[in-house]
Amino acid sequence: MSTTDIGIDDLPIREELRGTSPYGAPQLDVPVQLNTNENPYPLPEALVERITERVRDAARGLNRYPDRDAVELRTELARYLTRTGKHPVGPENVWAANGSNEVIQQLLQTFGGPGRTAIGFEPSYSMHPLIARGTGTGWVSGPRRDDFTIDEQAAVEAIAGHRPDVVFVTSPNNPTGTAVAPETVIALYDAAQRARADTAGALVVVDEAYVEFSHRPSLLPLLEGRPNLVVSRTMSKAFGAAGLRLGYLAAHRAVVDALQLVRLPYHLSAVTQATALAALEHTDTLLTYVEQLKAERDRLVAGLRGLGYEVTDSDANFVQFGRFDGEGGAHAAWRQILDRGVLVRDNGVPGRLRVTAGTPEENDAFLDAVRALKSSVGDTPTPPKEQKR
């Protein structure tokens, strides 16, 4: 065989990786890009200047390793969580990494791994099973109702039957936008501890990447008295810092200590820490953008429903809509919206697409595109069911 003919599957990779594909969303050069749940507003100039100042100071010491434990950053993240989450959090309860995906990876490296299992309730964030696979953790797909909420009784039964070591609860959920009631999280947590009563229990991870956009308060207060509960966050969405790659979590200090068994040395660069600290100084300004996006998200929901589309209640900065049951289904609708210069996400939920809330002008362009789509032959969505929040 010529070396030029060698592909991935010709290499001695792990068997469970053969035939799989990497995570990715298509980025196309179109006028309106509403497919990756990014914050559409660039950072304010005052913050850009503050980042420049902090990075300049950090650059003077780049010949040295950064603060291995990111103490200053974790202290400021703890202050932010305490202020906005209505629950006291100390720096010893916070851990930070390169994006929430690395946080999840470290959790599965510590509490999952070969011979262990994680469960999530799908459709949900597709990186959870991908990271599970990458860490050698078995994956179980748990049930959801037709309206994409978690069926509490069915979920408890799934946990009892599979006895997972790690449970993922995504609230608000990606790609559906649905939030999870605290009573449901408590029920799943209790079920997970009962199922693993012969060990030290099971870890329950509440993924709150989009919580700042929610109509509901954070689930952070549930940490009280639950040492196996973790709440993960990101600065990519509400802080408008997707390019920064900074994720973090809040948990019992023992969980934070455990993660340091698997973290790479000096995993957060001095530049990353400096940039994140600058962003936290401008929290109030950045959260005003969140309020604007929440209003635009609600406008998208109302506009889509007014056009006759079925829309899943959303507590995130995106909206799932449909249903497209004609020839080609959702992908055909995605293509026709793209042909009108607007890129949304077709991420595999049957008959539905997902659109990120953009600027008012971007959202107008999207609504014009779906209005034209609705009027085209063969692309009329099925009549919506009555929906209540």
pLDDT digits (tens, 9 = 90+) for 174-203: 999 999 999 999 999 999 999 999 999 999
pLDDT at residue 222 tops 70: yes
82 and 33 fall within a common domain: no
158 and 141 fall within a common domain: yes
308 and 191 fall within a common domain: no
- Segment 120-144 mean pLDDT: 97
pLDDT digits (tens, 9 = 90+) for 267-293: 999 999 999 999 999 999 999 999 999
CATH number of the domain at 370, please.
3.90.1150.10
246 and 364 fall within a common domain: no
228 and 100 fall within a common domain: yes
314 and 357 fall within a common domain: yes
What is the total count of domains within the chain? 2
* Confidence bin at 25 (pLDDT 50/70/90): low
Does residue 380 lie in a domain region? no
70 and 156 fall within a common domain: yes
3-state SS string for the chain:
CCHHHCCHHHCCCCHHHCCCCCCCCCCCCCCEECCCCCCCCCCCHHHHHHHHHHHHHHHCCCCCCCCCCCHHHHHHHHHHHHHHHCCCCCHHHEEEECHHHHHHHHHHHHHCCCCCEEEEECCCCCHHHHHHHHCCCEEEEECCCCCCCCCHHHHHHHHHHHCCCEEEEECCCCCCCCCCCHHHHHHHHHHHHHHCCCCCCCEEEEECCCHHHCCCCCCHHHHCCCCCEEEEEECCCCCCCCCCCCEEEEECHHHHHHHCCCCCCCCCCHHHHHHHHHHHHCHHHHHHHHHHHHHHHHHHHHHHHHCCCEECCCCCCEEEEECCCCCCHHHHHHHHHHHCCEECECCCCCCEEEEECCCHHHHHHHHHHHHHHHHCCCCCCCCCCCCCC
Does residue 191 lie in a domain region? yes
78 and 216 fall within a common domain: yes
pLDDT digits (tens, 9 = 90+) for 62-87: 999 999 999 999 999 999 999 999 99
CATH number of the domain at 211, please.
3.40.640.10
155 and 251 fall within a common domain: yes
142 and 250 fall within a common domain: yes
pLDDT digits (tens, 9 = 90+) for 230-280: 999 999 999 999 999 999 999 999 999 999 999 999 999 999 999 999 999
161 and 274 fall within a common domain: yes
Q: Which of 260, 281, 302 represents a domain boundary (last residue)?
A: 281
* Confidence bin at 2 (pLDDT 50/70/90): low
199 and 309 fall within a common domain: no
Q: Which of 246, 281, 316 represents a domain boundary (last residue)?
A: 281
CA dihedral 326, 347, 311, 243 (to 10 degrees): -150
Q: How many residues does the chain have?
A: 389
Domain that includes residue 129, residue range: 52-281
Does residue 12 lie in a domain region? no
